[in-house]
Every structure is written in structure tokens, then in C-alpha cells.
Structure 1
Amino acid sequence: MTVSLAPLLPLCTHPDNDPATWSAARLTAPAMGAVVAVRLPLAEATPSLGPAVTGLVRAGCAVLGYVSLAFATRPVAELTDEIATWSRLGATGIFLDHAPAGRSHVGTLRLAHRAALRAGLRRVVFNTAGPADPLCRDLDAVICSFEGSWAEYREWDGYGSLPGDGHLVYGVPALERAKAVTLMRRRGAGLGLVTELGWPSGVQSLLTAAALP
């Protein structure tokens, strides 16, 4: 089975504050087949954010809004409202970070998945950052089954990962980026992030990083 690797291009700045980065994303993401993930607190959903997201989509970008599942600890109404808000802002999909991977929390993933589809968000990505229960894979979604450092990725045995999964790799030296991308492709990743930055801290997750080359 051959799987195409789509780079994950993160946008973590507001278009009002960093128009050059948003402009670059509109130009480069479609050409490289990248998936653009917008990680901004929805408190920053100013009137200009929706048109900026829509501009990316019109340029041919697949755009994921960012929502944290907080390992199934968030109120359902709050979670579904955030997912619906990204739809109203023009996103075409959703990146659900801090996703629980165990059987006891599959209900949370199903709920989030249904909320995304109801909102018209057809591309759903769950970042479980490790192996997910087989029931999680019954959903039509991408599972990010690895999140960690370049050293860990080199030693990783691929346990729990399937072709098409997302792999999110940090701390990759510039001279080894091509090697990391080659390894990612060899392991069948369908969505990938390679960055020179180190391991993120606190709530600063993968979307603080740079995209694949």
C-alpha cells in the first residue's frame, strides 16, 4: 500500500499581526500539498480571522482548525461550540489535540467526530500521540500515532501505527530534515510534521513548529 505524505503547515499567529506568514501559506501550501492547521485561541476570532481562513481555502489549502480535547476532560457543550466555530470561520477540517486513546474514552472521540461532520468539517485528525484503541480507528479520521523527538522517532519501532497515520517529530537538525522526511515516508505516514524546534511545553503543542520541507 502506497501512502502519500502530506506536510502539516502550522499557523500560530493572527493574520492581523503576521500577514506575511499567512500570505506565504496561501502561496506555498497548495503547491506542496500541505495541510494548514490554524492554532489560535478562539478568543482571538476577530472579524478578520474568518476572511483570512477563507482566503487560504480559496487558494486551494486544506485548513484545519485547532481544538484541544484535553484528554476527555472538557465540557461537551464547550467542545462542540469550538468545533462549530471553526466551521463558521471557514475551516474545512479539524485538528483535535490531546485526544484520549483508550477504549474507555472512545465515546469522546465519537462525539467530537460527529460534531465535526455535523459542522461540515470533513477532514478530522486526532492526535493521540501514541497507539490508539482499535475502536478509535472505526472513525473516518487520521490518527497521529507518534509525537516526539527526532531521537525517539529514530528508535521508534512503529508500534500501534498504521499506514496513513500522522507522525509529528521535533528537534530535527536542519541537515537531517531530508533524512527525517525519508524515514517518515518509509514508515507510511500520511500526515507529517518535521521541525528543528524542541519538545513543546505546556499547551504549546505541535502547531508552534515549522512544516516539512
Structure 2
Amino acid sequence: MMLLPLYVHPLVDPDAWESLCRSTERPTTIVNVHNGPGGAGRDEVYAVATARLHRSGVRMLGYVDLDYGNRANGEVWCDIVGWAQYPVGGIFFDQVPADAAGLAYVTQVVRAVRGSVVLNPGTRCLPGYADLADVVCTFEGSWESYVDAPPAYGLPDGRDWPNAAHLVYGVPTERVGTATALLLSRAPHGLVTDLPAPLPYEGIPTVVRERAAAR
């Protein structure tokens, strides 16, 4: 499964949103109004854009920041409830803690979710986190860090957990195929994008845009 964080507003890059409607790849798209569903009520532009993705068969998750366990449960639950205003099928929790101290906190907040749960600690975490989610992102970083210093994986064949995902950004365009093959040899889910830090998710990968344009 391709996970595709899409953190660009539909009015800023309408072609990115339109490309996903035309794409045959149908990635699971993570939408983010304002570090969550937005605190000022429903954004009508997002409402229209997400409804169009939904009609096109694109599965979406709503973004919720956990601030590594520092956000109050009530704030997190308000964000989860706020995503009910949009046609999302679950929640993508970002900045998830990875240690034993954070496990009870994450266990509590995921109980409020109706639908799919994706956790993004962005690094290796305790095995207990894998039991709380459909997908756990155990790597998030640049292509250079991914290819030169890969994290240690716990399974005998060198692969990551069966529900692990890796998010790899800043991949040179000519290395996208190589990077995709490497990711799939390590984890069953994730993202390879040529967009660089510090804002690798303010748009969609060039290859997705080009394939949509060719249709």
C-alpha cells in the first residue's frame, strides 16, 4: 500500500488533488487541513476537494498530531471527532512516541478511532505499537539516510514487521525505481517521493503526477 501524505491546500496546488482523482495507483492519502482537521470549523474548500477524491475512489486518512505523547487526550479526541466532517476512513497519527512510557497513552487515543489507524513514530518502536494499528511507520527520512544507514529490522529475513511502512523523501528522480524496489524489499507499505525536505509532503511525487497527466 502506498501512503501519500498530502499537506498542500487544494487552492495552492489544485493539480496535485486533480492528479490523484485521475491516478490509477489509488494511494491511501493523508489529508491535513491545519495540523489536523482545523480548529475553526469545517474548511469548505477541503470539504469539496475531499468529497471529489472520495467519489474517485481514493481512500483518505485524517491527520492528527500526538506531539510524541505531549498533547492532552481531550485535544486529540477533539481532532478525531473533527475529522467526521470529511469523508476520511480513519486516522493517521503523527509524531507518535516509540517508547514504553508512551504506549499506554497511544493505546487510549486509538480507542476513539472508528476506522483504520496508522501510527507514525518515524522510527523503530516497541512491538506493542504494532498491535495498536493497521500500519506503523517505522522509518521516515531522506533517501540518503535510508540507503546508507538503514534501520535494523527485527525479522530473520531482514524485513520489517508485516504492518510496517517506510516514508522516504528526497529521492533523485532517476533513482525512484531503485528506491521503490528497496522499500518493498524491506516493508509492505510506504512512500517514495522525489520531493525534498523540509516540506516533502506539500505536493505529490512527480511520478504520480506524470502518470495521471498521461491518462
Partner amino acid for 2:170? G
How is 1:129-208 mapped onto 2 (pairs within 5 angstroms)? Answer: 129-154=122-147, 155-160=149-154, 161-187=160-186, 189-200=187-198, 207-208=201-202
Find the residue that maps to 1:79 and give its secondary structure. helix
Alpha-carbon distance in 1 for matches of 2:21, 2:132: 30
Q: Deviations over 1:144-179 (max 9, x none)?
A: 001112122113144353133110112211110100
Q: Which residue, out of 4, 7, 10, partners 2:2?
A: 7
* Residue 79 of structure 1: how far off its partner (Å): 0.7
> Hey, which bits of structure 1, 4+ residues long, moved more than 6 A?
none
Q: Is the 8 A contact 1:11 1:37 kept in 2?
A: yes
Q: Which residue, out of 38, 45, 59, partners 2:56?
A: 59
Q: Is the 8 A contact 1:8 1:212 kept in 2?
A: no
Normalising by structure 1, report the TM-score: 0.83
Identity rate, percent: 33
Q: Is the 8 A contact 1:62 1:93 kept in 2?
A: no
Alpha-carbon distance in 2 for matches of 1:57, 1:158: 37
Alpha-carbon distance in 1 for matches of 2:192, 2:204: 7
Cα 1:157–1:69 change in 2 (3 A) is closer
Alignment correspondent of 1:3: none
Q: Which residue, out of 110, 117, 120, partners 1:127?
A: 120
Alpha-carbon distance in 2 for matches of 1:103, 1:212: 38
Structure 1 alignment gaps of length 5 or more: 1-5
Alpha-carbon distance in 1 for matches of 2:143, 2:128: 29
Q: Is the 8 A contact 2:139 2:166 kept in 1?
A: yes
Q: Please tell me the root mean square deviation across aligned C-alpha atoms, in Å.
A: 2.1
Structure 2 alignment gaps of length 5 or more: 155-159, 208-215
